[in-house]
Structure 1
Amino acid sequence: MVSKKKIKLDRRKIALCMIGSSIMAFGLYNVHSLSGVTEGGILGMTLLLNYWLDLSPAITGFIMNAACYLVGWKLLGWSFILYSTIAGFTFSASYAVFEQFPRLWPGLADMPLTAAIVGALFIGIGAGLCVRAGGAPSGDDALAMSICRVTKSDIRIPYLASDLLVLALSLSYLDLKRIAVSLLTVVLSGQLIGFVQNARVPQAEG
């Protein structure tokens, strides 16, 4: 049972969640949705639904994230859920804003390998900032942590399972080459998330 004691949010962490989720939305709109390079988990599912049903990731991302947070809120703690909600809302709002402008690098549509690397940078850095702040930019994190809490399994297992499932479904609209580079961006972004989360920040003296 989650404690109902008052939660005090840190302004610096709120800023990190907002900056990180905005970076992710920027990358998803300007790189992933244009180039055919997808992501695993909820991010990849928003692109899948965008392709087949023409549903905006701004809407589907918010709905799926909210559902995952609802499932996990009792196990993950209030501060995690609150920071995650801030990140999720900012992602959807930012994507909705970016949709009002033309994409910056239309040539990436013909450079899937480059798009995979560039996309991984945006997703990895953006998500890493949110995780560093103690929140989750996507409901994948909340769901994976909930599964681990219940099953006592390694957290990498539900993460990998969701990524592989979405990539497999994405075969319905992407060829094997695109799926291969998508797998590359999933691996690279995962490494970047860990690096940003654990990076040491020099403390000012005096």
Structure 2
Amino acid sequence: MVKKIAVIGFGSTMIGIGINGFIIPFHLINGGFLGISLILNYLWGFKAGLMFIFLNVPVYLFAFKSDPRYFINGLSGAIISGIMIEILMPLNGKFHLPIMSSVIIGAVFIGIGVGIMLRNHISPGGMDLLALLLSKWSRINVGVIIFALDMVVIMTGLLILQDAKLFYSLLIISIVGLFASLITSFHSVQIYLK
């Protein structure tokens, strides 16, 4: 239990730093519910962390029927991630970097946070669960579905916000995905080497 709390705390803090310190200052977005939360923040000033929590709740309530353990771990991850995004909001504007450096550093922070949580079977957001359900129904690889959903969020943001800088968001989801994949597969690589 202590390990789980530490993992959620660390992962959520990394996500909060990545979002507030490096992504929000350039009005960029991430994929999934986090990306939708940022679009709502840029359009109407809604608090990104709170929107993230609200968007996740219906998906996790739906998950409760299929796997109560996933529901508890996932909802905890989503709520604490949302809270950390709000707590770390003062980081917005503290780092003065070129956009490409900011994109890479922010995405690495988010990717590490997401990867650490997923490796410990804690989901930092309900879009993963939605992709898993769609994968079961369609028999399409879950990774392909997550990438497709992220692309839909980013393209929607591009159409609504009409800011060419959002093309950098494609790099963000690629780096986040890469780091999350590396971290979640590290254990299996270790076992294989033994």
TM-score normalised by length of structure 1: 0.83
| 1:121-132 matched pairs, under 5 angstroms | 121-132=108-119
> SS where residue 141 of structure 2 aligns?
coil
Candidates 59, 70, 79, aligned match of 1:80: 70
| 1:136-175 matched pairs, under 5 angstroms | 136-171=123-158, 172-175=160-163
Candidates 27, 44, 57, aligned match of 1:53: 44
> SS where residue 38 of structure 1 aligns?
coil
CA distance in 1, matches of 2:139, 2:68: 21
Does structure 1 residue 90 correspond to structure 2 residue 85?
A: no
**AA aligned opposite 1:161:** A
Counterpart residue number, 1:6: none
> SS where residue 199 of structure 1 aligns?
helix
**AA aligned opposite 1:96:** E
CA distance in 1, matches of 2:95, 2:113: 22
Structure 1 runs of 4+ off > 6 angstroms? none
In the TM superposition, what is the alpha-carbon distance from 1:35 to its structure 2 partner? 1.6
> Where is the helix percentage greater, Structure 1 or Structure 2?
2
In the TM superposition, what is the alpha-carbon distance from 1:152 to its structure 2 partner? 2.2
CA distance in 1, matches of 2:130, 2:87: 27
Counterpart residue number, 1:14: 5
Counterpart residue number, 2:28: 37
Contact kept, 8 Å, 1:13 with 1:134, in 2: the verdict is no
Unaligned stretches of 5+ residues in structure 1: 1-9
Counterpart residue number, 1:3: none
Counterpart residue number, 2:94: 105
CA distance in 1, matches of 2:111, 2:24: 16
CA distance in 1, matches of 2:120, 2:162: 34
Contact kept, 8 Å, 1:16 with 1:133, in 2: the verdict is yes
**AA aligned opposite 1:79:** R
In the TM superposition, what is the alpha-carbon distance from 1:119 to its structure 2 partner? 1.2
**AA aligned opposite 1:51:** Y
Q: How many equivalent residue pairs?
A: 189
Spell out, residue by residue over 1:67-121, the C-alpha distance to the aligned partner (whole angstroms, 9 max, x if none): 221233333x22222111111111122122223x35363424xx22112101111
Contact kept, 8 Å, 1:36 with 1:174, in 2: the verdict is no
Structure of higher CA gyration radius: 1
Counterpart residue number, 2:178: 191
Contact kept, 8 Å, 1:71 with 1:143, in 2: the verdict is no
TM-score normalised by length of structure 2: 0.88
Unaligned stretches of 5+ residues in structure 2: none
